[in-house]
Amino acid sequence: MVIYKALLKHRGRPPGCIASRRAPPSNFRLEIPEYCAAEKCLEREQYYLDHLKPEYNVLKVAGSPFGFKHSPETIAKMKNRILTEEQKAKRLER
């Protein structure tokens, strides 16, 4: 269900991918290489990251943001953004 919602939100483009904002959705595809138990997901994700070496994956360790750093420009944008009242309300709901 999570993947389905992300695909609807981003119209078939990987969420957060800079290239997805410029490239048409046909340049990206969703493939599920295997189904596994929830407790094995990170292990299997790491297996596929190691073996397929996906071009658009910024993070190299499954389930960990270790090693990823936002650019100074991105940090400035996040600090200076102005949230609508609706966005503020959604943040409070979480």
The reply to whether 19 falls in a domain is yes
Tell me which of 84 and 94 has the higher pLDDT.
Answer: 84
Does the structure show a pLDDT above 60 at 86? yes
pTM of the model: 0.49
Domain count, the chain: 1
Question: Distance between CA atoms of 63 and 14, rounded to whole angstroms?
Answer: 17
In a domain, 55, yes or no: no
Range of the domain at 21: 1-30
Helices (H) and strands (E) in the chain, counts: 5, 0
Q: Which of 13, 8, 31 minimizes the C-alpha distance to 23? A: 13
CA separation for the pair 60, 50 (Å, rounded)? 8
Asked whether residue 88 is assigned to any structural domain, the reply reads no
Question: For the segment 27-63, what is each residue's pLDDT rounded down to a tens digit?
Answer: 667 788 899 998 999 999 999 999 988 877 778 888 8
